[in-house]
Amino acid sequence: MGRVSSLAQSYRMRLRRRRYRIRAFRKRRELKSVVDRTAAIRPRDILLFSTLRNEKVRLPYFLKYYREMGIDHFLFVDNDSDDGSRDYLADQPDASVWTTARSYKRARFGVDWLNWLQMRHGHGHWTLVVDPDEFFIYPFCDTRPIRALTDWLDASHVRSFGAMLLDMYPKGRLDAQPYVAGEDPLKIACWFDAGNYSIYKNHRYWNLWIQGGPRARTFFADDPYRAPALNKTPLVKWHRHYTYVDSTHMLLPRGLNLTYEQWGGEKASGMLLHTKFLDTFSVKAAEELTRGQHYANSREYKAYAEGLSDDPDLWCKWSEKYINWRQLEILGLMSKGNWA
Amino acid sequence: MSGHVGIVMLVHTAFDRAEQVIRHWNAAGCPVVVHVDRKVKAPVYKAFVAALSDLPDVLFSKRHRCEWGMWGIVAASQTGSEVMLERFPEVRHVYLASGSCMPLRPVQELQDYLARRPRTDFIESATTADVPWTVGGLDFERFTLRFPFSWRKQRVLFDWFVGFQRRYKLRRRIPDGLVPHMGSQWWCLTRQTLSAILQDPDRPVYDRYFRRVWIPDESYFQTLVRLYSQNIESRSLTLSKFDFQGKPHIFYDDHLQLLRRSDCFVARKIWPHADKLYQAFLTDPKHAMKKAEPNPGKIDRIFSKAVERRTRGRAGLYMQSRLPHMGQENGFSCAPYSVFEGFTELFEDFEVWLAKMTGTRVHGHIFAPEGVEFEGRTDTFAGALSANPVLRDYNARMYLTNLIWNTRGERQCFQFGPRDTQFVSWDMAKDPNAQISVITGAWAVPMFLSNRNFADIRQEAAQLQKIESEHLNALRSQWAKARVRIWSMAEFIESPMQGLQTVLDEMGVKTTRRITEAPRMVDLTGFGQFLQNLKNQGMHPYLMGDFLVEPPQHSRPEKVRKPYLVSRK
């Protein structure tokens, strides 16, 4: 009986995956190519996919960071920016850019667009999906390029690599220190919550559901169920049959979500340092409130707008100051797992 | 001197690096025979051969298809060795290496070392009973079962066929005279031993047998060498570390200092893009780095720690890549902590007193319904844990494990009671790190002292008594692993000092003297009557133990009190 129902569920998941893939395929028409350099992608290249809107100030450092890490090609979807992001990206020799003015929300928060691009260009490559305010960290990232990690994952027959979102914030008001293009945002937003995370297992998709951190502590304390999910699986050896379900929180087939060990050991994992909380944030929050394009009816942004107007300080006495990945490893936020 | 050591090298990828290493060996006078995996495409192979065509002492042997765990690797080693022995008659030692091996010490040192030991075979060779590192749990069975299916590509068939053979007791006969031995596949054998193995008249028998042994590259030479060698040194000259799946660990640039301290001649596997390593080690002796004091123990530690982390993990840690099933945690929490139930109710300044006596962190009721009572009643605590009760109860188990994890190195004490949310009641009871001391029924004291309507008191008392007795069931159950000590309230106040002393002793507080200063107990005059009143209203408070309605005269003779009236009923 149990076997029958689990087979039925597997089949349901298969149908769902197909539906998302068809959806992504249909949404391809919403994307208009600005500059397509994908012909330059070589077979073993590591690709980065990202959706953005009005992030020009962040882009120079973002590109520098990931180029140094060893990303070979960037694929961007620009959602109707009006700050020059699109032209800036189009000028980058290692980037391909698509643009759309269509609804971010109706593309399931950009997932459909990226699923399409990954289906089209990501097959057989290691693909990293991050937002412009997310900085990927993995064990030994200060001494080994990302190819060392992907080679090791290949050798270990691992297809996906988890990286929890870690909200970074400055001490004091968000607008106290303005962010300048090209600057390391972690110089300003260098604090984080070390140990207040809650983890549940999602039995339907097998992924973990991690919540907590400063956003849960300050904006969602009375409704923690609604607090943003922090679990992410941004690095995947892509196959055209794969699909992201909900941002990069979950994937199908479900086996890709098993980035954690359940028999006591630790698998290797990384971190996404989330530098959303800079002085640019309040402008974004105000804009998103009117656009209503974000998750759960922009609930997050509403909560922020309310929280920010009276006291914008996310910092507390027990906040931890970021040093490097080893610190995060020791704190138990990420793990080297088997990699040494 | 040179030319006495020949290298047989198996290559299947990273040809530029392999070429670099071959040139390095060859420059030091070692002839090299290269075997390239049959799976490598012809143009790539041809380019590789052409690149090395300027070296007369580098030959290529017949190609075999090499798949992990299959016969191909042995066949490759055999043909490579045959070419080596035949074409380079001056070679005395043959060293089997791979394309991702790298000499750590100047080749001259290896040559000298082997020249001083002309009759020694360096090959790790141990009986199956003595090796702990077998993949898939197959140790002796790899010699007695048949393995026609690939473990990597046909796992289902592989497992099924192993089970089938076990079930029907299908066994292979091991050829006469062979005692199965296993060890690292990277060896260094003398011409005498190696040629004896390769030219043995029984070789077809052995080959046929080993063809269906699982992972024969770890056992073929290791077993046969026992037939011929005069002098085996059972260790590999190649440094190679394996992870929990039996896959070799890879060395990167940041291992440079570590590798310098190895006492091995050759290391594998080196990541092909580890430029610094190749630069540092593949130089001529003049530019070689100064020798560092060998410290192979350090390498061992680092890699065995990695295996430990992957298989057992850090106890008491729950994170994005470690979420053990219930019961698989190898420790619910990461460090010992103490839970006190009923103490703050009975003693007025218990928390302050405990902190002073023990030097530990003493919180109030962590699971109080109104909010977390951290020490000093702060809004946040270690790890930025919030005092918000909704946030806490959203995942109370992890709240507790987070608290203990975040304060590693500092013992935590907190209060607990039936008024608190009970989500973690069982978890604490089952946790060997928990030290739980309970004064049952003490929750009635604040009610007794309160100024509330008796009907409300009666109702709440009934509820709390029920909750506490459920909690006590957990503590007394067969699954309880916590160090539990339970007193009834009446029992405890008979000799409170003794009780407190016991608790402190169990916490391992290092005070040689006995407790001099005791916490102040609340005035319990009339408590017996209070309990009697509850009884009279039909609620039987049994957890407190027996209290006389009129307290006995000797209960607190040291205190001088204002005169009071005891009403008799």
Residue B1 has a pLDDT of: 43
Task: Note whether B384 contacts A147, CB cutoff 8 Å.
Answer: no
B131 to chain A nearest CA, in Å? 21
Would the CA dihedral through B367, B368, B372, B375 be positive or negative?
A: negative
Query: Residue B243: pLDDT above 90?
Result: no
CA separation for the pair B339, B355 (Å, rounded): 13
Identify the weakest region by mean pLDDT among A287-291, B60-64, B110-114: A287-291
Contact list, B250 vs chain A (CB under 8 Å): 151-152, 155
Topology of domain B337-555, per CATH?
A: Rossmann fold (3.40.50)
Identify the weakest region by mean pLDDT among A255-264, B157-166, B434-443: B157-166
3-state secondary structure of B242: strand
Kindly state the average pLDDT of the residues B488-497.
89
CA separation for the pair B291, B105 (Å, rounded): 9
Residue B68 has a pLDDT of: 81
Contact list, B370 vs chain A (CB under 8 Å): none
Task: Note whether B384 contacts A263, CB cutoff 8 Å.
Answer: no
DSSP class per residue in A69-86: HT--EEEEEEES-SSSHH
Contact list, B330 vs chain A (CB under 8 Å): 264
Task: Note whether B383 contacts A155, CB cutoff 8 Å.
Answer: no
Query: Residue A165: pLDDT above 90?
Result: yes
Query: Residue B560: pLDDT above 50?
Result: no
Spell out the residues 6+ positions from residue B559 whose beta carbon is closer than 8 angstroms to its own: none
B109 to chain A nearest CA, in Å? 28
> How big, in percent rounded to 5, are the helix, strand and coil portions of chain A?
35, 20, 40
Kindly state the average pLDDT of the residues A100-109.
86
DSSP state of B547: -
Looking from the CA of B310 toward its CB, the CA atoms found within 13 Å total 18
Residue A122 domain-assigned (yes or no): yes
CA separation for the pair B504, B414 (Å, rounded): 14
Query: Residue A310: pLDDT above 70?
Result: no
Instruction: For chain A, state the CA radius of gyration.
Output: 19
pLDDT in tens, B91-135: 999 999 999 999 988 898 899 999 999 999 999 888 877 666 555
Task: Note whether A197 contacts B319, CB cutoff 8 Å.
Answer: yes
Identify the weakest region by mean pLDDT among A318-327, B125-134, B333-342: B125-134
Q: Are B282 and B24 in contact (CB under 8 A)?
A: yes
> How big, in percent rounded to 5, are the helix, strand and coil portions of chain B?
40, 15, 45
Q: How many CB atoms lie within 10 A of CB B518?
A: 13
Q: Which amino acid is at B248?
A: P
Q: Strands, DSSP E only, in A36-119?
A: 46-52, 73-79, 95-100
Any B CB within 8 A of A214 CB: yes
Contact list, A333 vs chain B (CB under 8 Å): 319-320
3-state secondary structure of A128: strand
Chain A residues 78-117 within an 8 A CB cutoff of chain B? none
Instruction: For chain B, state the CA radius of gyration.
Output: 36
Of B254, B313, B386, the CB nearest to A217: B386
pLDDT in tens, B356-410: 888 899 999 999 999 999 999 999 999 999 999 999 999 999 999 999 999 999 9
State the total domains in chain A: 1
* Cα dihedral value A130, A132, A138, A140, nearest 10: 140
Contact list, A319 vs chain B (CB under 8 Å): 384
Residues linked to residue B518 through DSSP beta bridges, in sequence order: none
Task: Note whether A269 contacts B378, CB cutoff 8 Å.
Answer: no
DSSP state of A119: I
Residue A247 CA to its chain's centroid (Å): 7
Q: Which amino acid is at B363?
A: H
To test the contact with chain A by mutation, choose from B320, B399, B400 the residue with the greatest count of A C-beta atoms within 10 A, namely B320
CA separation for the pair B540, B517 (Å, rounded): 35
Query: Residue B210: pLDDT above 50?
Result: yes
Asked if the peptide bond before residue B31 counts as cis, ω within 30 degrees of 0, the response is no
Query: Residue B512: pLDDT above 60?
Result: no
pLDDT interval class at B569 (50, 70, 90): very low
Residue A232 has a pLDDT of: 96
Kindly state the average pLDDT of the residues B309-335.
91
| Helices B527-536 + B454-476 axis angle, to 10 | 100
Task: Note whether B398 contacts A198, CB cutoff 8 Å.
Answer: yes
Of A152, A214, A337, the CB nearest to B309: A337
CA separation for the pair A249, A229 (Å, rounded): 8
Share of chain A above pLDDT 90, in %: 72
3-state secondary structure of A153: helix
Any B CB within 8 A of A195 CB: yes
CA separation for the pair A96, A88 (Å, rounded): 11
Any B CB within 8 A of A311 CB: no
Task: Note whether A147 contacts B303, CB cutoff 8 Å.
Answer: no
Please identify which residue in the block is written with the tokens 């995956």: A17
CA separation for the pair A112, A23 (Å, rounded): 7
Asked if the peptide bond before residue A64 counts as cis, ω within 30 degrees of 0, the response is no
A263 to chain B nearest CA, in Å? 5
CA separation for the pair A211, B273 (Å, rounded): 38
B284 to chain A nearest CA, in Å? 26
A270 to chain B nearest CA, in Å? 9
pLDDT interval class at B565 (50, 70, 90): very low
Query: Residue B299: pLDDT above 90?
Result: no
Task: Note whether A193 contacts B318, CB cutoff 8 Å.
Answer: no
Task: Note whether B383 contacts A318, CB cutoff 8 Å.
Answer: yes
Residue A81 domain-assigned (yes or no): yes
Query: Residue B20: pLDDT above 90?
Result: yes
Query: Residue B568: pLDDT above 50?
Result: no
Task: Note whether A340 contacts B302, CB cutoff 8 Å.
Answer: yes
Residue B293 has a pLDDT of: 64
Query: Residue B555: pLDDT above 60?
Result: no
CA separation for the pair B76, B99 (Å, rounded): 13
CA separation for the pair A280, A285 (Å, rounded): 9
CA separation for the pair B222, B187 (Å, rounded): 9
Q: pLDDT higher for A177 or A48?
A: A48
3-state secondary structure of B365: strand
Residue B288 has a pLDDT of: 59
Query: Residue B558: pLDDT above 90?
Result: no
| Helices B496-507 + B350-358 axis angle, to 10 | 50
pLDDT interval class at B170 (50, 70, 90): confident
Kindly state the average pLDDT of the residues B22-36.
93
DSSP state of B368: -
A60: tokens are 């120079």
Residue A338 domain-assigned (yes or no): no
Residue B297 has a pLDDT of: 77
Residue A177 domain boundaries:
2-331
SS3 of B91-127: the string is CCEEEEEECCCEECCCHHHHHHHHHCCCCCEECCCEE
Kindly state the average pLDDT of the residues B268-279.
92
**Nearest to residue B281, comparing CAs of B113, B107, B110?**
B107
Of A143, A211, A265, the CB nearest to B322: A265
Contact list, B253 vs chain A (CB under 8 Å): 143-144
Q: H-type helices in B145-289, by residue range?
A: 155-167, 191-198, 203-211, 220-228, 256-260, 275-281
Kindly state the average pLDDT of the residues A315-321.
93
Q: Which residue of A has its CA nearest to B407?
A: A195
Is the domain spanning B5-311 CATH 3.90.550? The answer is: yes
DSSP state of B128: G
Residue B206 has a pLDDT of: 93
Please identify which residue in the block is written with the tokens 């840690």: B317
A35 to chain B nearest CA, in Å? 31
ipTM score here? 0.93
Residues of chain B with CATH 3.90.550: 5-311
Contact list, A200 vs chain B (CB under 8 Å): 395
Residue B392 has a pLDDT of: 95
Spell out the residues 6+ positions from residue B117 whose beta carbon is closer than 8 angstroms to its own: B233
Give, in order, the Cα–Cα distances in Å from A216 to each of A162, A222, A332, B384. Answer: 21, 9, 19, 11
Please identify which residue in the block is written with the tokens 């000093």: B376
**Nearest to residue A19, comparing CAs of A239, A247, A243?**
A243
pLDDT interval class at A299 (50, 70, 90): low
3-state secondary structure of B416: strand
Q: Are B492 and B438 in contact (CB under 8 A)?
A: no
CA separation for the pair A233, B190 (Å, rounded): 51
Task: Note whether A216 contacts B328, CB cutoff 8 Å.
Answer: no
Contact list, A164 vs chain B (CB under 8 Å): 319-320
B402 to chain A nearest CA, in Å? 6
Task: Note whether B254 contacts A340, CB cutoff 8 Å.
Answer: no
Residues of chain B with CATH 3.40.50: 337-555
Give, in order, the Cα–Cα distances in Å from A57 to each of A80, A83, A134, A271. Answer: 16, 9, 14, 23
Spell out the residues 6+ positions from residue B368 whose beta carbon is closer than 8 angstroms to its own: B389, B419, B420
**A:B CB pairs within 8 Å:** 174
Contact list, A257 vs chain B (CB under 8 Å): none
